[in-house]
Amino acid sequence: MIASFVRTNYASLKGPARTLALLHFLDSVGGGVFTSGSAVYFIVVAGLPAAQVGLGLSLAGLSGFVSSVLMGMAADRIGARRLLFLSLLAIGGVYCLYPAVGSLPAFCAVVGVVGALEWGSGPLFHTLIAELVPEGDRVSARAALRSVFNIGFSIGALTAAAVIGVGGSAMQALPLGNALSFLLAAGIVLRLPATSASPARTERVSRFRALKDMPFLGVIGASSLLALHSAVLMVGIPLWLVTSDDIPRSVIPVVFVLNTILVVLFQVKCAKGSETLDGSVGAARKAGLISVVACLALALGNATTAWVAGLSALTAVLLVTFAELWQSASAFGLGFGLAPEAARGEYLGAFHLHTVVQATVGPAVVSFLVIQHGSYGWLVLCLIFLTGTAAIAPAVRRARREDLAPASAR
């Protein structure tokens, strides 16, 4: 049964895509090790106040606004494979500096560089998928890679839990383990076939073309609203559980375990149909409407008995997870489908901003609404998801019309 699932779920990972899967797996294991233990590491080992840790992590997210587009533009000029290799080497080197961090300036400097490199390397990975995987297999391959990522991240998180359990100097292994994963991943990049620039890549194109493309920015904006499901799952639901007197806090880890298992099992299935722009729009709409229902369930849970609140929480986790699966599938299809070949890296880097926006602004927005306004906050989130759902189709239509327009009309 397991062998059949592996063959079916990862059938699109052939040739270079299989090498990309190994790269992604190594990266995700290291990411799971450090991300799961980073709060403990910074506060216990580095001795930084919690408020300073939050400030530094926000800085890391803000640096992604700049690097995501710039590294995508650089990939169009010097090649995504070469730039990803250099980026992974640099990230591995910077992670080795974490044991020397003991003050706010040093912490902000290191975490800012790491954030810029990590957020910037995302579009490079997506560009390599577009260059090395046949067009009809790109969305399914990207979905399979996301499934692989969750497996690796879970292994890393369990490893981090064991290291934290040991404590003491063993916790220095958290950043160093991540550094090793990046260095190994850089070696895997060299196993990928070199890609030559197409004639379209050598044409002179406008600088920051993607950021001047207003219809495309509209798609990014609508996708940013729909991607808020991640902050609901990672921040909103845990905070809601922590502040509830009716539900045991031991339920919180179950939320993340359940989410990870469902992503591994169903991401590829939920990506079917998103190979086209119309299919991607349909997936985005499903994600938005499911997110609305999840927020309504949580609003209802605030005003009812303990067992209903518990049922509401479980229902919301399931719904938000499937919203995540369909929204991610939509993002794969929209990113690949709307990026012109002449500026593929730049457009994929710009589209990646919808993730950066969610990761930077989302937690603050969701925590403010949930903690300060309770059920009314969940209803406001419903309106946000409805706005994104209503906006995505018109935004994609305008972007598609712009993409089909002759170059002289742009």
Query: What is the reported pLDDT for 303?
Result: 61
Distance CA 220, CA 249 (A): 35
In single-letter form, the type of residue at position 84 comes to L
Q: What is the mean pLDDT of residues 378-385?
A: 96
Half-sphere exposure of 22 (CA within 13 A, CB side): 14
Is the pLDDT score of 143 beyond 80?
yes
Asked if 120 contacts 349 with a C-beta cutoff of 8 angstroms, the reply is yes
Model confidence over 161-184: pLDDT tens digits? 888 888 788 888 889 999 999 999
Residues 50-97 have pLDDT tens digits of 777 777 777 777 888 889 989 999 988 889 999 999 999 999 999 999
Query: Phi and psi dihedrals of 391, rounded to 5?
Result: -85, -25
Q: How far apart are CA 53 and CA 10, in angstroms?
A: 38
State residue 242's pLDDT score: 72
Amino acid identity for residue 154 in this structure: S
pLDDT, mean of residues 378-405: 89
Residue 283 in 3-state DSSP? helix
Report residue 225's pLDDT band, with 50, 70 and 90 as the boundaries: very high
Which of 394-409 are b and which e, b meaning 16 or more Cβ less than 10 Å from the residue's Cβ?
A: ebbeebbebbeeeeee
Tell me, yes or no, if the two domains 15-191 and 208-405 fold the same way. yes
266 CB-contact burial (10 Å; exposed 0-12 / middle 13-18 / buried 19+): middle
Residue 276 — very low, low, confident or very high, per pLDDT cuts 50/70/90? Answer: very high
pLDDT at 363 over 90: no
| Cβ proximity of 31 and 178 under 8 Å | yes
**pLDDT value at position 227?**
95
Q: Distance of CA 11 to CAs 23, 112, 183, Å?
A: 17, 38, 27
Domain 208-405 has CATH 1.20.1250.20: yes
Could you please state the CATH topology (level 3) that the domain comprising 15-191 is classified under.
Growth Hormone; Chain: A; (1.20.1250)
Distance CA 282, CA 294 (A): 18
Residue 406, helix vs strand vs coil: coil
**What is residue 64's predicted lDDT score, i.e. its pLDDT?**
82
Using the predicted structure, report yes or no on whether residue 307 has a pLDDT greater than 80: no
Cβ neighbours of residue 13 closer than 8 Å, sequence gap 6 or more: 20, 21, 141, 144, 145, 148
> How many C-beta neighbours within 10 Å does residue 338 have?
24
DSSP-assigned letter for residue 255 = H
Helices (H), 10-103: 16-40, 50-78, 80-95
Residue 264 — very low, low, confident or very high, per pLDDT cuts 50/70/90?
A: very high
Domain boundaries, the chain: 15-191, 208-405
Tokens of 282: 């349909």
Determine whether 189 is exposed, middle or buried from the number of CB atoms within 10 Å of its CB (0-12, 13-18, 19+): buried
Q: Select from 10, 336, 295 the least CA-distant residue to 146.
A: 10
The structure tokens listed for 384 are 């946000």
Cβ–Cβ under 8 Å, residues 223 and 334: yes
Per the prediction, the chain carries an average pLDDT of 86
What DSSP line would sit under 5-36, residue for residue? HHHHHTTT--THHHHHHHHHHHHHHHHHHHHH
Which of 298, 322, 320 has its CA nearest to residue 311? 298
185-199, 297-311, 314-328: which has the minimum mean pLDDT?
297-311
Tell me the pLDDT tens digit for each residue of 37-50.
787 788 888 888 87
Long-range contacts of 42-45 (CB under 8 A, 24+ apart): 42/107, 44/171, 45/171, 45/172, 45/174
Instruction: Give me the percent of the chain exceeding a pLDDT of 90.
Output: 47
Instruction: Give the model's pLDDT for residue 141.
Output: 94
